């Protein structure tokens, strides 16, 4: 097997061992256990072994299982979309912006529509930041406007137009029933209708957001879990500098 073609590693190379857990609407007994095992076999696993089952009441049972997969992936054939700009510290970003743009960058951020959870946007934008990385408000090179929670898309776009924003930051934390996709799509559609889409960077973030998803939805970039203000600030500064150089 080529070293580019890989399978899960349990305790031996390419043994294909995986751990799984799931719930079925079935009784917690021999029948339920066999149903869980069959499900794994039909999913394509081999040697499925149910190692634990627990009665969740109301006719549900939770299973923990180990199984072997015979499938493999060729990592030489995989391409992923990631934000490729290097990450600078706050001081480096401030110096970079002074040198390459010679003005402040204006960023408007919000949790849009139904989303009331500001923890993400606050971590990126507020003075205090998160985990010892200051937020955009602290940057000399940024004029950061955090509109907070439950901001209608129309208001966010109106504000961005009013302050002539360089970038819009949207946070979506609640993802139940894919509400984040609906909200993010709505914002982009409105921006396009209002002719704002190409006038500024559109960036989204949240625990279930990836750069790939963001691109797919028509955004310039997406930031997921583990993102700090440094990541977002560097991306905005470098991208704007590149755009300026091309003008």
Partner 1 sequence: MLKIGLNQEMVSRARKAAFQITNAFTWLFEGYTTVATERTVLRLMGIDGALKDGKPLPNVVVDHLVENSALQKGAAIWMANAMLKKGLTAQQVAEEVAYKGLDITQIPLASGEAILETLNPLVDKMLGHITAQKQKREELLAKYQPRPQPVIYVIVATGNIYEDVVQAKAAAREGADAIAVIRSTAQSLLDYVPFGATTVGFGGTFATQENFKIMRKALDEVAEEENRYIYLTNYASGLCMPEIAAMAAMERLDMMLNDAMYGILFRDINPKRTLLDQYFARMINAYAGIEIQTGEDNYLTTSDAVEKAYTVTASQLINESFALMSGIKPEKMGLGHAFEIDPELENSFSFELAHALLTKTLFPDAPVKYMPPTKFASGNIFKTYLLNAMFNFIGQLTGQGVQLLGMLTEAIHTPHLADRFLAIENAKYIFKAVKDLNQNLCLSEDSFINKRANEVLAQATEFLEKVAREGLFSAMAKGEFADIKRTENGGKGLDGVIMKDKDYYNPFLEIMKQELAL
- β-strand partners of 60: 57
Tokens of 58: 């109301």
Choose between 197 and 211: whose C-beta lies nearer to partner 1: 211
> Pick from 8, 10, 207, 218: which binds partner 1 (CB under 8 A)?
207
Q: Which residues pair with 82 in a beta bridge?
A: none
Q: Residue 134: which residues within 8 A CB-CB, separation 6 or more?
A: 90, 127, 128, 229
CA distances for 122 relative to 136, 151, 154, 210, angstroms: 10, 14, 21, 19
CA–CA gap between residue 163 and residue 86 (Å, rounded): 28
Q: Please say if 33 is a catalytic residue.
A: no
Q: Which of 7, 40, 121, 122 binds partner 1 (CB under 8 A)?
A: 122
- Residue 210 is a binding residue for partner 1 (CB under 8 A): no
Catalytic residue (choose from 77, 79, 81, 128): 128
Residue in this structure with the two tokens 């507020």, named with its chain if needed: 126
Q: Does 126 engage in binding with partner 1 (CB under 8 A)?
A: yes
**Least distance CB 156 / partner 1 (angstroms):** 16
Nearer to partner 1 among residue 48 and residue 173 (C-beta): 173
Q: Quick one: tokens of 11?
A: 């305790």
Count of CA atoms in the C-beta half-sphere (13 A) of 236: 33
Query: Residues 157-176: x/- map of binding to partner 1 (CB under 8 A)?
Result: -----------------xxx
What is the footprint of partner 1 within residues 11-40 (CB under 8 A)? 21-23
Chain residues binding partner 1 by CB under 8 A are 21-23, 54, 56-58, 60, 62, 114-119, 122, 126-128, 131, 148-150, 174-177, 179, 207-208, 225
């Amino acid at each position: 097997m080529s070293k580019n073609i890989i399978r899960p590693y349990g305790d031996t190379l390419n043994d294909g061992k995986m751990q799984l857990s799931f719930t079925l609407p079935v009784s917690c007994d021999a029948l339920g256990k066999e149903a869980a095992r069959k499900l794994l076999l039909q999913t394509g696993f081999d040697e499925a072994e149910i190692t634990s089952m627990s009665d969740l009441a109301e006719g549900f049972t939770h299973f923990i299982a180990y199984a072997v997969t015979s499938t493999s992936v060729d990592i030489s054939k995989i391409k992923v979309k990631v934000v490729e700009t290097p990450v600078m510290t706050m001081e480096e970003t401030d110096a970079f912006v002074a040198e390459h743009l010679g003005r402040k960058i204006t960023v408007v951020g919000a949790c849009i529509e139904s989303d009331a959870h500001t923890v993400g946007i606050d971590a990126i934008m507020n003075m205090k930041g998160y985990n010892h990385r200051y937020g955009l408000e602290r940057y000399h090179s940024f004029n950061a406007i955090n509109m907070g929670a439950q901001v209608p898309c129309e208001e966010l776009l109106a504000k961005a137009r009013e302050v002539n924003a360089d970038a819009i930051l949207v946070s979506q934390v609640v993802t139940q029933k894919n509400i984040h996709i609906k909200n993010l799509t709505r914002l982009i559609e409105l921006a396009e209708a209002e002719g704002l889409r190409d006038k500024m960077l559109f960036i989204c973030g949240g625990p279930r957001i990836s750069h790939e998803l963001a691109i797919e939805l028509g955004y310039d970039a997406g930031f997921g879990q583990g993102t700090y203000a440094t990541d977002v600030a560097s991306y905005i500064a470098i991208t704007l500098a590149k755009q300026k150089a091309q003008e």
